[in-house]
Amino acid sequence: MTRVDTPGPEKIIGNVRVTGPYEPGVGNMIVVLLLGVLVLLIGGCACVVWAERGGPRWARVIATVTLTASELLRSSDKKRRRGLNSGNQGDD
């Protein structure tokens, strides 16, 4: 008797047959993670605006954290770009 093995588990999704490793939870987890980051970003921006208009102390604290994180990301991006540009100067 001859046995043919498939390379991985086989699943049928709708009318499509999917073979190989299939992890349905991984894609959902990434979407949830990205949505969480988006909510934090929007909330931080809202706290910055509210703090500028004299919001409560906790909103001013969150606004300070948001602005500090923004400056850190901006400065690291500038350093990265500076490093990329300095490597290209000696190629003439």
Average pLDDT over residues 2-17: 60
- The string of pLDDT tens digits covering residues 23-82 is 666 778 888 999 999 999 999 999 999 999 999 999 999 999 999 999 999 998 888 887
Indicate whether 90 pLDDT > 60. no
Closest CA to 6 of 20, 16, 23: 20
pLDDT for the residue numbered 13: 67
pLDDT for the residue numbered 83: 77
Higher per-residue confidence, 43 vs 92? 43
Closest CA to 73 of 25, 47, 41, 30: 41
Phi, psi of 36 (to 5 degrees): -65, -40
